[in-house]
Amino acid sequence: MAAAGGAFIMMVLVCAIFAPLIATHDPSAMDQSAILTAPSVDHPFGTDPIGRDIFSRVVYGGRISLSIGFIAVGIAVILGIFFGSIAGYYGGILDTVIMRFVDIMLCFPTFFLILAVIAVLEPSIGNIMVVIGATSWMGVARLIRAEILTIKERDYIAASRVMGGGDLWIITRHLIPNAIGPVLVSATLGIGGAILVESALSFLGIGVQPPTPSWGNILMDGKSTLGMAWWLTVFPGVLILLTVLAYNLLGEGLRDVLEPRLKE
């Protein structure tokens, strides 16, 4: 199942990277003679209310949705590793302050926090990436802290300290590399979650703004014509479902490989 998920993700990535070669039409081009056309040979996924080809928009939209997922999770991982490693290594009052801040952040419903921030900021791709990443790092911080609390007591850490290794050297060369396994699993699962959040924001009209296509705003375009143009919601909706499922399957597979102790 993990291999199947990985294969599907690779297929989506290839389509996103080579979108100009795969898309059959310009995603922004309007054809007044093909408004709300059902799936056909010329338009495999049909067209929308202003005659744009849905297949081309879905292919180009994959670029935006996947980019937001990768970059948002990258921001979350960097923040989580930074705060989690400091809290786990130094402990004491610094650990208490950081982890209480993490607890406070976790008390807020993440999606509504994102909605509030996006409502204040201008809805743009960059802002969405930063906001999703800045509200998703707490779980990574907890994972890193828990791993470092265990690893820092091992003999090779004491040996490195005796040999003159400074705090930065020990954290970056010994602790983080040996604690990164659970973070990779969390990051893989987090990409799927970030894609879902972006799709929800775009569906509500405060995410990626038209005419830039994303899977979420393609769904929004089909909301008003759901009864007569099913293809506007089915194709992007199925792609979101399969992509998120594929990342979850891949994450579960990575967990079995990187954390075999969790196997039943």
Element housing 221 (H / E): helix 215-222
Q: What does DSSP assign to residue 175?
A: I
90 within domain boundaries: yes
Give the chain's domain count: 1
- When the pLDDT of each residue in the chain is averaged and rounded to a whole number, the result is 87
66 within domain boundaries: yes
Coil/strand/helix, residue 47: strand
Q: Dump pLDDT digits (tens) for 113-170.
A: 788 877 787 778 888 888 889 888 999 999 999 999 888 888 888 888 888 888 888 8
* 1 contacts 252 by C-beta, under 8 angstroms: yes
The domain that holds 123 is classified in CATH as: 1.10.3720.10
The dihedral formed by the CA atoms of 196, 197, 202 and 205, expressed in degrees to the nearest 10: 140
Domain around 192: 2-20+55-259
10 within domain boundaries: yes
Q: For the packed helices 125-134 and 176-203, what is the interaxial angle rounded to 10 degrees?
A: 130
- Does position 27 have pLDDT exceeding 90, yes or no? no
Contacts of 208 (CB under 8 A, 6+ apart): 64, 68, 123, 125, 128, 198, 201, 202, 214, 216, 217
Q: Which residue has the higher pLDDT, 147 or 204?
A: 147
- Does position 260 have pLDDT exceeding 70, yes or no? no
pLDDT value at residue 140: 92
79 within domain boundaries: yes
Q: What is the pTM of this model?
A: 0.87
Q: Dump pLDDT digits (tens) for 75-102.
A: 999 999 999 999 999 988 999 999 999 9
219 within domain boundaries: yes
28 within domain boundaries: no
195 within domain boundaries: yes
Q: Which of 76-85, 185-194, 218-227 has the highest mean pLDDT?
A: 76-85
116 within domain boundaries: yes
